[in-house]
Chains A and B, each alone.
Chain A
Amino acid sequence: MIEISDLQKTYYTGSIAVEALRSVSFNIDKGEFVAIMGASGSGKSTLMNLLGLLDVPTAGTYILNQTEVSALEEKDYARIRNREIGFVFQTFNLLPHLTALHNVELPMLYAGIKPSERRERARLLLEDVGLAERTHHYPNELSGGQNQRVAIARSLANNPAIILADEPTGALDTHTSLEVMDIFQQLNQNGTTIIVVTHEEDIARHAGRILRLSDGLLVTDDKVQQPLNAGAALNSLRKEAGGI
């Protein structure tokens, strides 16, 4: 599904060149759950932006669904971002003057889906993430966890094959983080490819595979033998709370 070889990205700030990604190569198959880890400045966010077609590489090839991405035009990028990739950000990136429902509708708006159909699907998606009662709330009326769930619902709007999540739990507490990872694991079980960038080890351990970056290079690529089960952890947490 994703084939990357010798991908490089250099930023130029004035006369100084910063090599954010020096040379990274790996493949991700359909249906995988991959965590990308690394310290701050390791290049993991840069890699995420390249994977999400938000930025273009300086060198190297990126093949997405058998298509060489560098051969595409800007409008194709927009289409791929719209249909094939769902983004989840650390700071949610919801539009503050739109309700939860309208935020979820946005990707469908750009896909040209009819308003009635859009509304119905947005409502179902919000229901799936447990926000059926919050459809007409604005982001500032929702908690961080609720906002991230709206963002996840939004990322699923056009049924993308890949979910790209950049530090999705970075702004959330442990319990809410588990809820988010639980949603990702369920989606993954249904066949969606999930790529999560994180610097938290226990978040990464929910994935089936962990890529570690350091100084713009891929240092390890490990399979997780026994991924953590967010759903089970949540259940035991709930039991504890009930016991008290």
Chain B
Amino acid sequence: MPTTPIKAGIQAYLTGGGAIWGKPMMQGAVLAIEEINERGGILGRKIEYVVKPETSPEETVREYRTLVLDEKIDFYVGLISSSNTPAVGPVAEELQKLSFFVDGCTDFLFESVVPDPRFCFRITNIQSADGISAALGAIKLLNLMEKDKVRIAHIHPDYAYGRNAHAHMQITFEKVLGKDRVEVVYEAFPGLFKVTDFTPYITEIIASKPDILASSLWGADVVNFYKQALGYGLFDKMKFVSCIAHGASPAEAVKDFPDGHIAGVHANYFFLYPEWDKYPINKAFVENYYKRWGTYPDSPAEGAYVAVYMYKTAVEKAYEVLGKWPEVDDIIKMLEGMTIYGPAGPIHVRARKPNKHQCYKDGIVGLSKYDPRYGFSVLTNPVVIPISRITVPEGWEGTPDPKAGTLAYSWIRETWKEGVLPV
């Protein structure tokens, strides 16, 4: 049994627009590592870690190779951007390094780029689940099934994530409400973090008189948007349905976010749920994270935290069976099909295609409400969206939709019954 330390490689956005996700991600991983080390490490071995920046795909791959080849890490936790997971995934397979992608949730990764992964796993819910849960949450919370007609406007950032959210929100609305009940009155795709003056968009959206505005704007974009939109009275004229606005820290930025709109959290974790009095794992995580870092954890933090614990659990389980420190393939075998309880609730690692090695946990959507205890807008009236009802099941044989690019889109189009709420 080796006693030397285990080396973890962490790769996160440390600077630039992605840092608001990258920093918490790194902090979640480090918290887990510190907790584990305090309790004696994994089977007596402490964990050391090296942090490298995540940036453009080219540089990110370069840094990843450095971690694996020069730093000789044992496992890897990292990545937020959906441009980077498709770049790093094949390299992880090539270099045969166990890698946990915290986000970079694009369906593209396990559906096209690495359809039969051995070494890479992904913690965050798959991207298509994002738009689908927000749409279903909106339908439930706003009682859209009762309405004769629903007028929808869209505004999404012009890149893969925004297009994905748009496509899946739209098809969910069309299927569940019925195509003839849904009318798209306006659609726009401003560049990601390129626009600071959203006023022309706001004006056009208001002029098109929608009932709901579906949006996957996040980070600086959603903050600019909603502050300007307040000046134009947008929130009094329609319901804002965001799949992600409450999921990106700092939550402090959404202090004056209007109440009563649909708050999505990237189909992942919001620190108040599962409720602390019912689920001590979450309570402990939030308290420890706050004590260590001074802010509340968000989904990248929770994801990275879970990734490290997933590794630990798999190693310990394998040890129980084999009686010695496991090889990477033994760890992988333990991970496949495993369910562990993280702060967001139970999370399951899929063992079979499609989307092998993708992790699944129930997502939540809720209504926005300012909470004076925290001083920012939080998610209330949570609706849990069972992940199994909104993702392509194991063994499903279909092809990705040519335009939307995902299996989920084809799956919804072919198997969901029109006019029926699947959750």
A and B co-occur in one complex: no
